[in-house]
């Protein structure tokens, strides 16, 4: 399939583009590099052994999106592009609603107009919010707790409404749990700008000496060691989940949500220990107050993806830590040199 991958230069997109090529598909990247670098595309091309087609464009530019979809001869779209920082979304809600929702509307308009009816969307476990249970199944009501999460929830609803409005749509909504790790080559990985919001990239930067210590946000949660528990998923497993979803779309009438997670929770301190083993050095940390809006514990019920996508995770926490460390130690400043961002 010829697949338009919006946000394909980003963290999850770049790994998925490689997985698509490996599965015999033909991805085309659309990205505006708002949170990524052309170097990622160059490296994916190098790993794939062929030039990946790249279109530099902003999804907020509706006429450009219309032209790209009209001319692209695409069989399907995987829609990664969007903004994803929870804290920033609370400070700049309009920017988040505009970026995530308006860009999706532009894309869907163009797809509808030009007869592309297959789409896989990057949703998030964050759409469940406080669910009253720790293991999330897809039937739980959506209850996102911050503007970022609400953009994902609203886009899911828009996709459902679109699917219900006319026959012929095949829509997969992938609810990712906590993606971490990197390609085992150490050539592509996660390269956050500024101070990382997420645990594993922060730990990686402590290990490589860019930050002094980790702040563990709370050690008095009702969990086995008191720290937050999440379902970490290796980004290469996650990339494979996209290929599986794309290939299963033909069986979807309308829209369908799948959790992509391992079904296993790990605590903050378990992540720290795994990273210490991988890097062979201590990760200094201090216990800090809880972070606003954090839940104590949640993880996926991945049964539906196993049954319907014939997909499950294969890599564990030690693999995630090993590959994250391999990437970070070979690229201490990600795709850059450390000169670009004084805050980093």
Instruction: Give the nearer residue to ligand WQD in terms of CB position, either 18 or 216.
Output: 216
Least distance in angstroms from the C-beta of 282 to ligand NAD = 26
For residues 296 and 81, give the distance between their C-alpha atoms in angstroms, rounded to a whole number: 28
Within 8 A by CB and 6+ apart from 143, the residues are 127, 128, 129, 130, 131
Within 8 A by CB and 6+ apart from 189, the residues are 11, 181, 182, 183, 323, 324, 327, 328, 331, 334
35 binds, among ligand WQD, ligand NAD, none (CB under 5 to 8 A by kind): ligand NAD
The neighbour count for residue 253, using CB atoms within 10 Å, is: 12
Helix (H) or strand (E) holding 266: strand 266-267
Figure out which of the listed residues 3, 25, 27, 36 binds ligand NAD, where binding follows CB under 6 A: 36
For residues 264 and 247, give the distance between their C-alpha atoms in angstroms, rounded to a whole number: 26
Q: Any catalytic annotation for residue 97?
A: no
Is the backbone of residue 334 left (phi > 0), alpha (psi -120 to 50) or beta? left
Catalytic residue selected from 11, 96, 136, 148? 148
Binding pattern for the stretch 3-22 against ligand NAD, x by CB under 6 A and - elsewhere? ---xx-xxxxx---------
For residues 209 and 195, give the distance between their C-alpha atoms in angstroms, rounded to a whole number: 13
294 binds, among ligand WQD, ligand NAD, none (CB under 5 to 8 A by kind): ligand WQD
For residues 233 and 316, give the distance between their C-alpha atoms in angstroms, rounded to a whole number: 8
Least distance in angstroms from the C-beta of 285 to ligand WQD = 8
202 binds, among ligand WQD, ligand NAD, none (CB under 5 to 8 A by kind): ligand WQD
Binding pattern for the stretch 179-208 against ligand NAD, x by CB under 6 A and - elsewhere? x-----------------------------
Within 8 A by CB and 6+ apart from 150, the residues are 144
The reply on whether position 331 binds ligand NAD by CB under 6 A is no
201 binds, among ligand WQD, ligand NAD, none (CB under 5 to 8 A by kind): none
Figure out which of the listed residues 3, 18, 21, 35 binds ligand NAD, where binding follows CB under 6 A: 35
Least distance in angstroms from the C-beta of 113 to ligand WQD = 29
The token pair that represents 11 in the structure block: 């963290």
Helix (H) or strand (E) holding 114: helix 103-114
Helix (H) or strand (E) holding 3: strand 2-6
**Burial profile 49-68: b = 16 or more Cβ within 10 angstroms, e = fewer:** eeebbbbebbbeebebbbeb
Are 226 and 268 a contacting pair, CB within 8 Å? no
257 binds, among ligand NAD, ligand WQD, none (CB under 5 to 8 A by kind): none
The reply on whether position 104 binds ligand NAD by CB under 6 A is no
- Helix/strand/coil for 124: strand
Within 8 A by CB and 6+ apart from 340, the residues are none
230 binds, among ligand WQD, ligand NAD, none (CB under 5 to 8 A by kind): ligand WQD
Least distance in angstroms from the C-beta of 176 to ligand NAD = 4
Instruction: Give the nearer residue to ligand NAD in terms of CB position, either 122 or 255.
Output: 122
Instruction: Give the nearer residue to ligand NAD in terms of CB position, either 94 or 286.
Output: 94
Residues recorded for the chain = 344
Give me the residues that bind ligand WQD (CB under 6 A), please: 84, 86, 124, 126, 178, 197-199, 202, 214-217, 228, 230, 268, 291, 294
Among all residues, which ones are annotated catalytic?
148
Site for ligand NAD, rule CB under 6 A: 6-7, 9-13, 31-36, 58-60, 80-82, 84, 99, 103, 122, 124, 176, 179
């Amino acid at each position: 399939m010829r697949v338009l991958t919006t946000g394909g230069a980003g963290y999850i997109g770049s790994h998925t583009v490689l997985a698509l090529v490996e599965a015999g598909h033909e991805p085309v990247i659309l990205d505006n590099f708002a949170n990524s670098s052309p170097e990622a595309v160059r490296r994916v091309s190098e790993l794939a052994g062929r030039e990946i087609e790249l279109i530099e464009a902003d999804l907020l530019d509706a006429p450009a999106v219309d032209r790209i979809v009209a001319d692209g001869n695409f069989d399907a779209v995987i829609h990664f592009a969007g903004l994803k920082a929870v804290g920033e979304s609370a400070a700049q809600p309009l920017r988040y609603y505009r970026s995530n929702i308006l860009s999706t509307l532009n894309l869907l308009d163009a797809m509808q107009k030009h007869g592309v009816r297959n789409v896989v969307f990057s949703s998030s476990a964050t759409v469940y919010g406080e669910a009253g249970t720790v293991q999330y199944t897809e039937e739980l009501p959506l209850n996102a707790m911050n503007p970022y999460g609400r953009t994902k929830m609203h886009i899911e609803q828009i996709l459902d409404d679109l699917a219900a409005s006319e026959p012929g749509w095949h829509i997969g909504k992938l609810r990712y749990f906590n993606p971490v790790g990197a390609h085992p080559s150490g050539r592509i990985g996660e390269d956050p700008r500024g101070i990382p919001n997420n645990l594993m990239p922060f730990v990686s930067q402590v290990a490589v000496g860019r930050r002094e210590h980790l702040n563990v946000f709370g050690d008095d949660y009702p969990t086995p060691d008191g720290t937050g528990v999440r379902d970490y998923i290796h980004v290469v497993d996650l990339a494979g989940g996209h290929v599986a979803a794309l290939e299963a779309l033909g069986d979807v009438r309308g829209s369908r949500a799948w959790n992509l997670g391992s079904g296993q929770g790990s605590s903050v301190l378990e992540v720290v220990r795994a990273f210490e083993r991988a890097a062979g050095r201590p990760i200094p940390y201090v216990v800090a107050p809880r972070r606003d809006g954090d839940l104590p514990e949640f993880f996926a019920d991945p049964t539906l993806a196993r049954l319907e996508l014939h997909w499950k995770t294969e890599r564990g926490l030690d693999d995630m830590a090993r590959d994250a460390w391999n990437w970070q130690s070979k690229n201490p400043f990600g795709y850059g040199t450390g000169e670009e961002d004084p805050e980093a």
